[in-house]
């Protein structure tokens, strides 16, 4: 008996005569008198299996002819070259063991004409994941993250873990989930940034934190999640925020490169054409943003954030002028940014804040942080915040903090962007929404 | 002017005459009339700087002589070979820029005789991290995680993200943090295991999830945290739980190998001797555990978990018999294990549950899970649980789930074990405890 498992993707006509052990699912069963055809599937693809009654033990053949779709099976068989079979081979079953049988499924695993609606797909997510397209998304997301973290590892960034439970609400206070923490109230972080900064103040120099973040928004858009993940990077001793742009685009490029190297089949399953974006990514800056928009017939009020329409227009502009989907927006108005961002000293209206966008989708925000204690404190006053509430953070800036900055790349957003997924939920195994907590 | 930063660890006497750019902290300043000696520190080590008044601009020398300890500085200098200097060289300062000055520190960064107490260290964690020992721990933890995930990546495990917010309390219900989730109550996961299993049921085959977990225990021991991280692995189509032991020990060995390859200096800072543990790790099993303990004078009651004393004795036994710190305990009584574990069919008293211990410290628990729907349902009844509450999970086992299992290795526990840290908090940047939420 063969001990080593063969994967569907490893089968070849040239293996003619070779005994194999397959483990996966009976995706489709066709019973033609004394022959049963089984479409076998594992996480790498499908294969045609054939059971011929006269070659098999009576009990085994009976089991095979009674197989229900999606039953989990273990098959011993022999590869036979075949000029009729589409793949150029079939696997003739010698023995089959039912590992776990399946009842009729509530949703289809092999979608042909009818597509299951989103809500139902996520009700039955554990079945929905068996679709080759679902699986392909997560293989790609894993390769993307792997490529990004490998780049960071190789460039001396330490993989660290910052806290998820916050003792103080973030500066805005809005949209946080509240926790009963023993006899107190605490909060789930929206972003681990302040703790990344405290880590930098602690001398760790270059770090990344790949973890969850939460946002208690009631909105149900195709690009928001209540629980999402970010690859959050922070670097000490930077010259300025432009250095972060160069770093961020290399992280993104390394992720996409890794997808291209390892997920050719998955990209083809999804019908996605993917290329490593050229560096440097274009950058557009405030206040020029106003002029660009005005030239396209849009007047964006001062001291407001980019709205959806502006994002669409900027995406068009960048596509036209630079032939690029990825682009940075830099030097946002300080008025709309948090207290901790660094401004341009000579032009205090503008912050060294950068967003990375893909078309009209925001992938990340970041920039250079203010490291000078006195400036930080005056910015807190300017934002009408209570310095006392932020003392747990600001006190450390009295003890010699280097110039630093960073960014947090949304893992699901980036996956959504490069795979052109209509809904971000497709890039989450088990999404959390205002009205979805299960499975 | 030199543009490229040189790290303290890169300086060598052979660089005599070379111009360098250093960025870091002025750890110690000694003012001897017309010469100032500065002990410079960055994240890689220290270096002796010398400022000679007659060679410097008046303003620069004044700045240097007024430096306060832990001021963040940028130094242009030239390396000078020196037979007197301990390192064989000094860096003569040509220019120095104060990036951010430091007030007198609340705790010492360079501990000599007096050690700061735990509580104070964590009150000022962002300063405490600057100690070479603190920094060394996180460089090692990062290398450990990197080694483990690299092994998993190279062996085809997908990096996935499972939800942290749970819509249903875990099977025990105890010790979970409660969240206000819009108009409902939700919970922070204690372990992402059930979702790992649903991912396997979705056909993802081999996965790992490196994320946070929470435990709302009131205890203040040296090995418990309210928020900790685990490298949680799950694998489909396993033969049995023994296969998981082989996988787990390779993950651990790969992590330690990576530390040895990349953290020689950090291990020496901590004074730790580390070796890659020999595989296979020894395994001891119930019911033999009773006999082993009895032989050492301890009677462990049936259907109870190992207590602290038993753990100490087993650690001694394994050290004596196998000369190993790492060891597995297998086949725990089903009575003390959750409903989802797989039992030995022919000996239903015993579960295919494995713990990995290091001495008397539990590093991970895991084992083979029950994948057969009918057996799973009968175990739920046996445990007196309400099947309705678990239907969100169990329903998927009706649709062909492969045999599977896994384990979750506590990242901080493993770091604590290999570095012999007296308190697990030292392996967390910003620990969360029942009475600590800040910083």
| Whole-angstrom distance, CA of residue B49 vs CA of residue B64 | 11
Q: Which residues of B touch A434 (CB under 8 A)?
A: 182
A129 pLDDT more than 70: yes
Residue B179: which H helix or E strand, with range?
Answer: strand B178-181
How large is the average pLDDT for residues B117-127? 95
Give A154's contacts (C-beta < 8 A, 6+ positions apart): none
Q: Which residues of B touch A210 (CB under 8 A)?
A: 210
| Whole-angstrom distance, CA of residue B162 vs CA of residue B177 | 18
How large is the average pLDDT for residues A42-47? 96
B172 pLDDT more than 80: no
How many beta-carbon pairs below 8 A join chains A and B? 255
Average pLDDT of chain A is: 96
What pLDDT score was predicted for residue B113?
A: 59
Percent with pLDDT over 90 in chain A: 93
What pLDDT score was predicted for residue B304?
A: 95
How large is the average pLDDT for residues B213-224? 91
Nearest to B403 among A99, A164, A434 (CB): A99
| Whole-angstrom distance, CA of residue B248 vs CA of residue B252 | 6
How would residue A218 be classed by pLDDT, with cut points 50, 70 and 90?
Answer: confident
Q: Which of A194, A168, A176, A386 is nearest to B436 (CA)?
A: A168
When mean pLDDT is compared across A113-117, A400-404, A421-425, B156-160, the lowest value belongs to: A113-117
| Whole-angstrom distance, CA of residue B193 vs CA of residue A32 | 42
pLDDT tens digits, A167-209: 987 656 578 999 999 999 999 999 889 999 999 999 999 999 9
What pLDDT score was predicted for residue B143?
A: 98
Phi and psi at A18, nearest 5°, equal -85, 135
Put simply, the answer to whether B70 touches A400 (Cβ < 8 Å) is yes
How large is the average pLDDT for residues B46-74? 97
Q: Which residue has the tokens 């942290």?
A: B164
Q: Which residues of A touch B126 (CB under 8 A)?
A: 198-199, 201-202, 396, 399
B174 pLDDT more than 80: no
Preferred mutation among A202, A206, A413 to probe B, highest tally of B CBs within 10 A: A202
**Farthest CA pair distance, chain B:** 88
Half-sphere exposure of B373 (CA within 13 A, CB side): 17
A1 pLDDT more than 90: no
| Whole-angstrom distance, CA of residue B22 vs CA of residue B46 | 11
Query: Which chain B residue is nearest to residue A22, measuring alpha carbons?
Result: B237
Q: Where are the alpha helices (DSSP H) in B263-405?
A: 264-270, 288-295, 308-322, 373-382, 391-394
Please give, rounded to a whole number of angstroms, the shortest distance from the CA of A120 to a CA of chain B. 14
- Most confident listed range (A135-139, B2-6, B164-168): A135-139
| Whole-angstrom distance, CA of residue B222 vs CA of residue B308 | 13
What pLDDT score was predicted for residue A324?
A: 97
B155 pLDDT more than 80: yes
What pLDDT score was predicted for residue A170?
A: 61
How would residue B3 be classed by pLDDT, with cut points 50, 70 and 90?
Answer: confident
Q: Which residue has the tokens 């003619």?
A: A16
Q: Which residues of B touch A392 (CB under 8 A)?
A: 438-439
| Whole-angstrom distance, CA of residue A138 vs CA of residue A431 | 13
B438 pLDDT more than 70: yes
pLDDT tens digits, B17-57: 999 999 999 999 999 989 999 999 999 999 999 999 999 99
Asked if B254 and B151 touch (Cβ cutoff 8 Å), the reply is yes
Q: Where are the alpha helices (DSSP H) in B33-123?
A: 58-65, 118-123
Q: Which residues of B touch A103 (CB under 8 A)?
A: 398-399
- Token readout for A158 is 């330490």
A28: Cα separation from own chain's centroid: 31
Put simply, the answer to whether B396 touches A204 (Cβ < 8 Å) is no
Q: Which residues of B touch A397 (CB under 8 A)?
A: 100
What pLDDT score was predicted for residue B170?
A: 61
How would residue B173 be classed by pLDDT, with cut points 50, 70 and 90?
Answer: low
What pLDDT score was predicted for residue B218?
A: 87
Handedness of CA A287, A289, A295, A297 (dihedral sign): negative
Partners of B29 in beta bridges: B38
Asked if A157 and A143 touch (Cβ cutoff 8 Å), the reply is no
Give B226's contacts (C-beta < 8 A, 6+ positions apart): A165, B214, B215, B216, B217, B432, B433, B434
Put simply, the answer to whether A100 touches B182 (Cβ < 8 Å) is no
| Whole-angstrom distance, CA of residue A244 vs CA of residue A239 | 9
Q: Which residues of A touch B5 (CB under 8 A)?
A: 237
What pLDDT score was predicted for residue B219?
A: 79
What pLDDT score was predicted for residue A33?
A: 86
Output the DSSP codes for B136-165: HHHHHHHHHHHHHHHHHHHTT-EE----SE
Query: Which chain A residue is nearest to residue B196, measuring alpha carbons?
Result: A429
When mean pLDDT is compared across A83-97, A310-324, A370-384, B157-171, the lowest value belongs to: B157-171
Residue B188: which H helix or E strand, with range?
Answer: strand B184-188
Percent with pLDDT over 70 in chain A: 98
| Other Cβ atoms within 10 Å of A46 Cβ, number | 19
Query: Which chain B residue is nearest to residue A123, measuring alpha carbons?
Result: B392
B399 DSSP assignment: B
How large is the average pLDDT for residues B374-398? 96
What pLDDT score was predicted for residue B192?
A: 84
Query: Which chain B residue is nearest to residue A404, measuring alpha carbons?
Result: B99
Q: Which of A61, A423, A436, A10 is nearest to A221 (CA)?
A: A423
Please give, rounded to a whole number of angstroms, the shortest distance from the CA of A290 to a CA of chain B. 34
What pLDDT score was predicted for residue B306?
A: 97
Phi and psi at B252, nearest 5°, equal -65, -45
What pLDDT score was predicted for residue B116?
A: 81
Q: Domains, chain A, ranges and CATH?
A: 8-100 (2.40.50.140), 127-153+200-208+223-427 (3.30.930.10)
Put simply, the answer to whether A430 touches B398 (Cβ < 8 Å) is no
Put simply, the answer to whether B100 touches A204 (Cβ < 8 Å) is no
Nearest to A179 among B99, B177, B211 (CB): B177
How large is the average pLDDT for residues A271-277? 98
In this prediction the ipTM stands at: 0.96
């Amino acid at each position: 008996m063969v001990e080593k498992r063969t994967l569907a993707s490893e089968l070849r006509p040239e293996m003619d005569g070779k005994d194999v052990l397959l483990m996966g699912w009976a995706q489709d069963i066709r019973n033609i008198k004394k022959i049963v055809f089984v479409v076998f599937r594992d996480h790498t693809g499908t294969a045609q299996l054939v059971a011929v009654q006269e070659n098999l033990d009576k009990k085994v053949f009976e089991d095979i002819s009674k197989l229900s779709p999606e039953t989990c099976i273990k098959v011993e068989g022999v590869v036979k070259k075949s000029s009729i079979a589409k793949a150029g081979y079939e696997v003739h079953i010698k023995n089959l063991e039912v590992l776990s049988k399946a009842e009729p499924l509530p949703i289809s695993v092999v979608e042909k004409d009818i597509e299951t609606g989103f809500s139902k797909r996520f009700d039955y997510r554990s079945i929905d994941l068996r679709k080759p397209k679902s699986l392909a998304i997560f293989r790609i997301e894993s390769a993307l993250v792997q490529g990004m973290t490998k780049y960071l590892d190789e460039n001396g960034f330490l993989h660290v873990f910052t806290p998820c439970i916050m003792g103080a609400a973030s500066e805005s206070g809005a949209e946080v989930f509240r926790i009963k923490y023993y006899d107190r109230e605490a909060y789930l972080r929206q972003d681990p940034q302040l703790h990344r900064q405290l880590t930098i103040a602690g001398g760790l120099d270059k770090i990344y934190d790949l973890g969850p973040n939460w946002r208690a928004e009631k909105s149900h858009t195709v690009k928001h999640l209540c629980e999402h993940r970010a690859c959050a990077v922070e670097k000490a001793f930077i010259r300025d925020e432009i250095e972060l742009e160069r770093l961020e685009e290399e992280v993104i490029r390394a992720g996409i490169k890794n997808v291209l190297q390892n997920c050719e089949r998955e990209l083809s399953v999804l019908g996605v054409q993917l290329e490593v974006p050229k560096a440097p990514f274009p950058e557009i800056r405030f206040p020029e943003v106003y002029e660009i928009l005005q030239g396209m017939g849009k007047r964006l009020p001062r001291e407001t954030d980019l709205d959806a329409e502006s994002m669409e227009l900027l995406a068009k502009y960048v596509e036209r002028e630079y032939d690029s989907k990825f682009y940075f927006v830099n030097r946002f108005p300080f008025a709309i940014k948090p207290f901790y961002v660094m401004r341009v000293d000579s032009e205090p209206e503008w912050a060294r804040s950068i967003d990375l966008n893909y078309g009209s989708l925001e992938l990340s925000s970041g920039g250079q942080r203010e490291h000078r204690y006195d400036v930080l404190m005056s910015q807190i006053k300017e934002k009408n915040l209570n310095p006392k509430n932020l003392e747990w953070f600001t006190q450390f800036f009295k003890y010699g903090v280097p110039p630093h900055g960073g960014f947090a790349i949304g893992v699901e957003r980036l996956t959504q962007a490069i795979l052109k997924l209509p809904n971000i939920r497709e890039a989450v195994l088990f999404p959390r929404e205002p009205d979805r907590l299960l499975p």
